Amino acid sequence: MALIPPHKWGLPSDITPRFGARLVQEGNCLYYLADRAELIGSFTSEQLQKLEQAFPLFITKLENMLHSGALNPHHQYQVEVHLDELTCIADTRGSCGYVYIAIYPQA
């Protein structure tokens, strides 16, 4: 019997540590569902605190990108946002309903 590897939420990446999530998109609004997110690798307590503080700002920036068309639910391409020593890469993957993200500390 083969083991099924655990699902990795967010955008695929070899970067660790990272936070991955699949956000639900309705129009220009994004909704975070905790059961569609995970931490991959080990964050320091300082990195986790920065992530917690920056996450709502990343969401606001991504919603603004949806509104302006810089992030488009019909086209797959990645956008990058930098905040407080963190990088967020986001892509709708052409899904028309989800935005996939990966957030990681800048090197």
Query: Which range has highest mean pLDDT (7-11, 14-18, 50-54)?
Result: 50-54
Phi/psi at 104 (5° precision): -145, 155
Average pLDDT over residues 93-104: 93
Q: Return the SS3 of 50.
A: helix
CA distance 30 to 15: 24
Residue 1 has pLDDT above 80, yes or no: no
**Bridge partners for 86 per DSSP:** 83, 105
Kindly report, residue by residue over 22-80, the tens digit of the pLDDT.
Answer: 999 999 999 999 999 999 999 999 999 999 999 999 999 999 999 999 999 888 989 99
**What are the DSSP E strand ranges found in the chain?**
18-26, 29-31, 37-40, 79-83, 86-91, 98-105
CA distance 24 to 7: 17
Token representation of residue 22:
């699949």
Domains in the chain with CATH codes:
18-105 (3.30.450.20)
Q: Strand 18-26 vs strand 29-31: parallel, antiparallel, or unpaired?
A: antiparallel
Q: How confident is the model at residue 95 (pLDDT cuts 50, 70, 90)?
A: confident
